[in-house]
A and B are shown apart, each in its own frame.
Chain A
Amino acid sequence: MTVREVAEGLGLRVFAAEAASLDRPVLGGYCGDLLSCAMAGARSGQVWVTLQAHRNVVAVATLTDVACVIITEGAQPDPETVQTAERENVALLGSDRGSFAVVAGLIRLGVPA
Chain B
Amino acid sequence: MSSSPGSVDTRSLLQDSDLTKAQELVYELVVRQVMTTPVVSVQPDQTMHELGEKLRAAGIAGAPVVEQGELIGIVSMNDLINALERGSRDDPVRQWMTIDILTVREDDSVIEAVKAFASRPVGRIPVVSAQGSLVGIVTGGDITRGLVRALDLDHRSDEVSHYRASHIFQDISSHDTSLTLRYTVSPRDFSHSGEASAKVKRALQRLGGRPEAVRRVAVACYEAEMNLVIHTDAGGEVLVEVRPDRVSITTTDAGPGISDIESALEAGFSTAPDWIRDLGFGAGMGLENIRRCSDEFSLRSEVGSGTKLVAVVYLGQGNRLGRAPRS
User: Hey, which bits of chain A sit against chain B, CB under 8 A?
Assistant: 1-2, 20, 23-25, 27, 33-37, 39-40, 44, 50, 52, 54-57, 59-60, 62-65, 80, 88-89, 110, 112
Contact A59–B289 (Cβ < 8 Å): no
Task: Provide the bound-state CA to CA distance between A54 and B229, in Å.
Answer: 15
Most interface-central of B223, B280, B284 (chain A CB within 10 A) = B280
- With beta carbons under 8 angstroms apart, the residue of A24, A55, A63 that contacts B197 is A63
B37 within 8 A of partner (CB): yes
Q: In the complex, which residues of chain A have a beta carbon less than 8 angstroms from the beta carbon of B292?
A: 40
Contact B201–A62 (Cβ < 8 Å): yes
B136, closest chain A residue (CB): A110
**B68-76, B152-160, B256-264: which lies at the A interface?**
B152-160
B95 within 8 A of partner (CB): no
Contact A56–B280 (Cβ < 8 Å): yes
Contact B285–A36 (Cβ < 8 Å): yes
Task: Provide the bound-state CA to CA distance between A37 and B283, in Å.
Answer: 7
Contact (A25, B279) CB under 8 Å given A37-B285, A110-B38 = no
Contact A63–B194 (Cβ < 8 Å): yes
Chain B contact surface mostly: helix
Task: Provide the bound-state CA to CA distance between A59 and B229, in Å.
Answer: 14
B109 within 8 A of partner (CB): no
Contact A34–B152 (Cβ < 8 Å): no
- With beta carbons under 8 angstroms apart, the residue of B37, B191, B222 that contacts A39 is B222
Contact (A63, B201) CB under 8 Å given A35-B283, A56-B190 = yes
Task: Provide the bound-state CA to CA distance between A62 and B156, in Å.
Answer: 13
Q: In the complex, which residues of chain B have a beta carbon less than 8 angstroms from the beta carbon of A65?
A: 211, 215
Contact B280–A54 (Cβ < 8 Å): yes
B181 within 8 A of partner (CB): no
Q: In the complex, which residues of chain A have a beta carbon less than 8 angstroms from the beta carbon of B32?
A: 27, 112
Contact A60–B194 (Cβ < 8 Å): yes
Task: Provide the bound-state CA to CA distance between A57 and B286, in Å.
Answer: 16
* Beyond A63-B198, A63-B215, 12 additional pairs, beta carbon < 8 A: A20-B156, A24-B153, A25-B149, A34-B282, A34-B283, A39-B223, A40-B285, A55-B190, A55-B194, A59-B195, A59-B222, A60-B222
B88 within 8 A of partner (CB): no
Task: Provide the bound-state CA to CA distance between A62 and B32, in Å.
Answer: 23
B192, closest chain A residue (CB): A55
Query: Which residues from 194 to 220 on chain B have a C-beta closer than 8 Å to any C-beta of chain A?
Result: 194-195, 197-198, 201, 211, 215, 218-219
Task: Provide the bound-state CA to CA distance between A52 and B283, in Å.
Answer: 14
